[in-house]
Amino acid sequence: MKSELTEMMEELHEMYGEAALAEETVAGTFVYIPLDQLHPHPDNPRRELGDLSELAESIKAKGIMQNLTVVPREAGGYTVIIGHRRSAAARLAGLEGVPCVITKMSEREQVATMLLENMQRADLTAYEQAKGFQMMMDLGESVASISEKTGFSRTTVKHRLEMAKLSDKKLKEISVRQVSMADFDKLSKIKSIAKRNEVLEKIGTANFDNAVEGALRAELIAERMPTFEEKVKALGAKKMKEEDRWSSKYERIASVDVKTAEEDKPIVSKKYQKEPLFYAIREYWGEIEIYRKKPKAPVERRSKAEIEREKAIEECKKQLKALTEMARVLRGNFVKGLVMHSKNREQVLAGGAAVLKCSTISYLRTVHAKQVLEFIGAETSKEYGKNAELLDAAFRDKPQFAIPALIYLSFENDNVPKYWTETYNGFPEHTKNVYLDELYAWLISLGYEMSDDEKALMDGTHELFRKEEKAS
């Protein structure tokens, strides 16, 4: 008994002759092709075909509702351009062949066609899109042409192309986590591909934002440090040995934070510029310290143990300040991305009540209108009283951004609140902070995840609070 496929192929043979079934079939011809002559495209942007069981059942019941698009192979048979899932499901359904349209395409046209077809059906993951975009770039397309053909913005195309540079192995390892495109966009801000892949290991965890900020901070320091070192050298300053920083022969007269310093401003006061100067680079902190020799005075004799203790205290303070600042940046970034809406309005406004409660037991400075406007990225003015009007407009037109910003800044209070306090001639000590406790409780109610460092600073278990014990 003849199969349905055999009968169809015989009919085509009678209607169109041998050409209808030959490998040299004219482009545009519609034919039924045996599945064993169909081969998946090696550069198909869709890496995983997903669960085919439902589609296979539909094909069993109704057949192939839409033909495949294929191109002839030099080695014989055909390469599938459109219809990889249908051909795989047809095999699963037990079909012998499927309806196809044979066409002619260049390699670039094949990749572009597959990519566009899948995107239109929302079939590709963001990473598969990234690989597809990279294929198109490799075939001579530009960011502009990819944007025009796919409908994605140029910014999105650029971000996807940055994602394509990531390690396939690491991406597979983190594929089980709940990862958003916003996370990959954050990752793409890191310039170093090696560092990106390192931070990629933390994506989808509470420590990811911390790792991103740390990497961006390190890159900013590496980028700006040479400029400020040259400015210091232009003053005739000489680089000093590390041990001289702790010598009683020198005193520090200035410290430059290269992350935020303005290049056109003097590094040291004019009164010191004619003196012999020395400098030390604090690479991790992004600081350049400038020293001069102390005016002669009675020599203060200190033991080696005292000097080492002083160094340890200074280092501990530096680390705590850096971690505290990092936590502030993470909190601020979270609130900048926060939008008040019907589902979270109660939690957002509860933060207002919490900060008012704090203000009854602790001094609270005024939050200026300009601070709120700058925080939400709104227009500000130098005209007296104008910022108050602009803030009123922001509360009227964009309350979903302005209200969370005002509550957050009331907690932060234009300071960097912290869980530690300095002591005279001793290591910093852990301390409670009611503002921070309430702030974190508020942020967590809105979906914020504290990093391990933040948790350890809050409960006093961070290793930096044990420096005194270790030094002893």
Residue 213 pLDDT class (50, 70, 90 cuts): very high
Does residue 50 carry a pLDDT above 80? no
Q: Is 378 helix (H, G, I), strand (E, B) or coil?
A: coil
The pLDDT value given to residue 304:
84
In this predicted structure, the answer to whether residue 127 has a pLDDT above a threshold of 80 is no
Adjacent-strand bridge partners of 255:
289
Contacts of 258 (CB under 8 A, 6+ apart): 221, 224, 225, 227, 228, 286, 287, 288
Percent of the chain exceeding pLDDT 70 equals: 87
| 3-class secondary structure per residue, the chain | CCCHHHHHHHHHHHHHCHHHCCCCCCCCCEEEEEHHHEECCCCCCCCCCCCCHHHHHHHHHHCCCCCEEEEECCCCCEEEEECHHHHHHHHHHCCCEEEEEECCCCHHHHHHHHHHHHHHCCCCCHHHHHHHHHHHHHCCCCHHHHHHHHCCCHHHHHHHHHHCCCCHHHHHHHCCCCCCHHHHHHHHCCCCHHHHHHHHCCCCCCCHHHHHHHHHHHHHHHHHHHHHHHHHHHCCCEECCHHHHHCCCEEEEEEEECCCCCCCCCCCCHHHCCCCEEEEEECCCCEEEEEEECCCCCCCCCCHHHHHHHHHHHHHHHHHHHHHHHHHHHHHHHHHCCCCCCCCHHHHHHHHHHHHHHHCCCCCCCCCHHHHHHHCCCCCCCCCCHHHHHHHHHHHHCHHHHHHHHHHHHHHCCCCCCCEEEECCEEEEECCCHHHHHHHHHHHHCCCCCCHHHHHHHHCCCHHHHHHHHHC
Which one is predicted more confidently, 359 or 455?
455
Instruction: Identify the pLDDT of residue 252.
Output: 92
Q: Which of 296, 294, 295, 289 is nearest to 237 (CA)?
A: 289
CATH 3.90.1530.10 spans which residues of the chain?
Answer: 4-104
pLDDT in tens, 253-275: 999 999 999 988 888 888 888 88
Q: Which of 155, 198, 192 is nearest to 174 (CA)?
A: 198
Amino acid 20: pLDDT: 38
Burial classification of residue 150, based on how many CB atoms lie within 10 Å of its CB (0-12 exposed, 13-18 middle, 19 or more buried): buried
Q: Give the CATH number of domain 4-104.
A: 3.90.1530.10
pLDDT digits (tens, 9 = 90+) for 2-31: 444 445 444 434 433 333 343 344 456 678
Q: How many CB atoms lie within 10 A of CB 441?
A: 13
Helices (H) and strands (E) in the chain, counts: 19, 11
Among 2, 59, 72, residue whose Cα is nearest residue 31: 72
Mean pLDDT, rounded, of the chain = 83
Instruction: Write out the two tokens for 57.
Output: 């059942």
pLDDT in tens, 158-194: 888 888 888 878 877 776 677 777 888 888 889 999 9
- pLDDT digit string, tens, across residues 373-393: 888 898 898 888 888 888 888
CB 33, CB 78: distance < 8 Å: yes
pLDDT of amino acid 3: 45
* pLDDT score of 259: 92
Rounded Cα gap, residues 332 and 346, in angstroms: 20
Residue 232 DSSP one-character state: H
